[in-house]
Structure 1
Amino acid sequence: MSVDGGHRRITNRLFYWMAGGCGFATGVVGAAFHLAVDRLLQWPHWLADRLGTGPLTIAAGAGVAALAITLAYLLTRYIAPETAGSGVPEVEGAMEGVREVRWRRVLPVKFVGGVLSLSAGLVGGREGPTIHIGASIGAALAEWLRLDKLDFHALLAAGAAAGLASAFNAPLAAVLFVIEETRRQFRYTFRSYVAVIVASAASAFGMELVGGTAPQFRIDTDALPLVMLPLFMVLGAALGVLGLAFNKTLLMALDWRAKAFARVPILYAVIVGAAIGALAFVMPMSVSGGERLIAEMPVADLPLKMLALIAVVRFVGTMASYPVGVPAGIFSPMLTLATTVGLIFGLLVEMALERSSFPVPPLTGAAFAVAAMGGLFSSTIRAPLVGVVLAVELTGAFELILPLMVTCVTAHVVAQVLGGRPIYEVLFERSERLAGRMPSVRSAVTSSPVGIDDPPRSETR
């Protein structure tokens, strides 16, 4: 152990134990988070059992959800504003050295605010709170041990990966997420890389140990003929366009909410909360993160019009929910939307094949649904390898790795050609401008094995 300027550089062995402790603590907290959200999400059934299913119940539901989401908004706005939305931009900013991780206020607000908003039925993802919670636990450990800057950044990344692992029980995708998504900020060394792996594995272990389970996304699939691979390229191209539209619409929704409710910002939280509460009884499939829908829709044999309705409603719900300004991510709503789009595409393919002499392979719709999950993730987050691995880890569709690779890479390239940028990078720059700071110039130097995006051609002339 060395000491330099009041900061310590501990041995590799001790550092890995610290990373494991960070991951384990994140997994335990993540398990508690899942258990709390899952238990409280049953409130519509509890209300319906006591009041029936009439207008009074719908009105009561609107009041319950409005109260919960408004409380989450007040906690976020007045105690820890940085906990609003996904925690990924905040973590990336801290790894760049332009944001401070105030873990003492982030941990309670992210947990309580996330439970309130997500259990109310807000269309948001659980990874937003858990990633920020994990990074905050890493920051707390680094502060306690008085670690130097490099180890502080490494524990931030390890905690963030542990948070993602606890959100979906996907430790491998969590490791790759750090490599691809934080490729500009992550100090890629053997020491930091191993710390991320150890924290992700420890998080999954900690979550399972205390009985907390991540949402189940298992989908029964089968291998498709190689001759159908071009169809996955078509799907990837469509998802590249959809990912670009998703990102731009989300930014427009954030700007619109900021202008339209500038005088009384709490009113937006009340309105969205009331709408979510009413929809929980009128159209349950339109609320919450949609984790159950991902596993249920491929076996429900839904008609084309119903799938289209779900896709539109879920898209609108996501765009309305994220600007509320409470702890919630976008992974789960995005994956649910992608599953719906993939099923629509698969149904269209099946209809076309039925009119031809080509036999319809079994579970075609499910295959395209899984591929769409990875494809939309790749075009929105701009992390194609994570898209492939995340979809496989979540669904267990190992036989679809090749179609997933084709879909994800195509979606990524199409989004890049159309001028799309990673959503978290854009959200970070927006928050910097709103704070009156110019976004820092991103360095072209990186130690990440995946590198960074090439500059536009106009900049190289």
Structure 2
Amino acid sequence: MDRRSGNGVYYVVAALVGATVGVVGSAFHVGVEHLTAAWPAYLRDGLHLTGLPLYVAAALVGAAMTLVSLWLVRRFAPEASGSGVPEIEGAMEGLRTVRWRRVLPVKFVAGLLSLSSGMVLGREGPTIHMGASIAKAASDLMRWPTEDMRGLLAAGGAAGLAAAFNAPLAAVLFVIEETRRQFPYSQRSYIGVVLASLASAIVTQYLTGNVPYMLMDVPDMPYGMLPAFAVLGVGLGAAGVGFNGTLVWALDHVRNLGLSTSFYIFPAVVGLVVGVLMFVLPEATQGGELLAVQLAGERLPLGILAVIVLLRFVMTMASYSTGVAGGIFAPILALATTIGLCYGTALGTVLPLPDHALPALAIAAMGGLFAATIGAPLVGMVLVMELTGAYSMLVPVMVTTILANMTAQALGGRPIYEILLERTLAIEAQGQPAPRRERRRPAHKDMSGMPAAEDR
């Protein structure tokens, strides 16, 4: 029996899914912001802790939030680990299943805990995953066939990105460019994605405001600066390949450590460190979007910027490797900002730079590193424009972004989500030895390749 509905019904459902995602995404965003500020304030102002007692308490809180987040993921929804974007791409390709009944609550609560602990993770991945889960719920309710379900998954994921960054156009382009292999192209599915992203953006703007999330005011850059942006793009292309390779290396080593000991040891250590850093060096914690705006407005010494780059790189690898719920969009953008500022500061020591050159290079770097790691240059260009509102920077951003993507391809780089999906499928195909007492079903695994706690 053909359960395919008319276009009108499909469009209405897509818009309703987008609006729902806007509400859920806004609630998640506000929840993370409030909890991230609440627990440090309680330790410092409520309990009046200072010095060593404050650091010990912060370390314990950070570790507790991390471990509870990981336990929820491993116990109830292993596929909720990490970003969730590879899971959605796999589901659109028919390789994964979106179990929305367990992913939705686990991704929301576990993501709230992991992001609020101060780990260097982004909320966009969980929001995209929750958006696709809401779409899957709607598709199940409508009893739609596979093609419509996959189209609605893309619409829900796009609505999630629109809610996370208030960037509806970049969200539509993300589906077109990032999921070009899986997306079931048709007028029906394409319009559904646009409607879902638009509805999500309207709801998000109504609930949280219509100001670019990383607003930066940068005037036009002279064309004489374009060579500097081109060199930055080439460097970011190489950095993106290194970022992806290091992330996979870290995931593999943490997984091997967990198989030989316990999957909770490394996350506990990371949580302890992050808790202390929330007070000692907050620049090395959290997603970093607001930090990027702050740093772009300051003129920090080159040495300090280099240290921030190193710390955020290390903490991004450590945080994502724990297996908790959290994305990498925001950490990539914040890392790119600090790299751009570092590059601009170094360049300024040998060449005279125009006013506002540092924030301009920081903005362009966001698009460049995004294109080199995610492999979606068009999304990177538009996302940076929508996030910062710096539309005068369009040409320098395009130069930096496309050269970063070209360099990454020339070096053999591949999109990180594609790599992560293939890695998960390969680990799952290998299987795990069954318990000694009985043979059981194959273990469900999260995106880091770790079997769920109940399957060990």
Per the TM superposition, whether the score is higher than 0.5 is yes
> Which ranges of structure 1 fall in alignment gaps of 5 or more residues?
355-359, 439-461
Q: Decide whether the 8 Å contact of 1:347 with 1:365 is kept in 2.
A: yes
Matches within 5 A, 1:38-437: 38-42=33-37, 43-49=39-45, 50-211=47-208, 216-262=213-259, 263-354=261-352, 360-436=353-429
Query: Across the two proteins, how many residue pairs are aligned to each other?
Result: 428
1:300 to partner: Cα distance: 1.7
Q: CA deviation at 1:437?
A: 6.1
Is contact 1:35-1:212 (8 Å) kept?
A: no
Separation (CA, whole Å) in 2 of partners of 1:99 and 1:41: 32
Residue 219 (structure 1) shift = 1.2
**What TM-score do the two structures reach when normalised by structure 2?**
0.92
Tell me if structure 2 keeps the 8 A contact 1:34–1:214.
no
Q: Deviations over 1:389-414 (max 9, x none)?
A: 00110011101111111111100010
Which whole-Å CA distance do the structure 2 matches of 1:138 and 1:344 have between them?
41
Secondary structure in 2 matching 1:240: helix
Q: CA deviation at 1:212?
A: 7.3
Confirm or deny: 8 A CA contact 2:212 2:386 kept in the other structure: no
8 Å CA contact 1:37, 1:115 repeated in 2: yes
Is contact 1:34-1:212 (8 Å) kept? no
Q: Deviation at 1:190?
A: 1.1
Offset at residue 252 of structure 1 (A)? 0.3
Q: Aligned with 1:347: secondary structure? A: helix
Cα distance in 1 between the residues matched to 2:141 and 2:11: 16
| Helix, strand or coil at the partner of 1:352 | coil
Backbone CA RMSD of aligned residues: 1.4
Once the two structures are superposed, what CA deviation does each residue of 1:226-265 show, in whole Å capped at 9, x if it has no partner?
1221211100000000000000000000001011222211
Equivalent position amino acid for 2:396 in 1:
P
Q: Residues 101 and 213 from structure 1, CA distance in 2 versus in 1: closer, same or farther, beyond 3 angstroms?
A: farther
Task: State the identity as a percent.
Answer: 52
Q: Which residue of 2 aligns with 1:448?
A: none
1:214: Cα distance to partner?
Answer: 8.8
Question: Which of 5, 8, 12 does residue 13 from structure 1 map onto?
Answer: 8
Gaps in structure 2 of 5+ consecutive residues? 432-456
* Number of the residue aligned with 1:34: 29
Q: What is the rounded CA distance, in whole Å, between the counterparts of 2:87 and 2:257 in structure 1?
A: 25
Once the two structures are TM-superposed, the CA of residue 291 in structure 1 deviates from its matched residue by 1.7
Judge conservation of contact 2:162–2:200 (CA < 8 Å) in 1: yes
- The reply on whether 1:22 has 2:14 as its aligned counterpart is no
2:445 is matched with none
Change (3 A) 1:230 1:220: same
Give the superposition deviation at 1:284. 1.0
Cα pair distance change 1:233/1:349, threshold 3 Å:
same
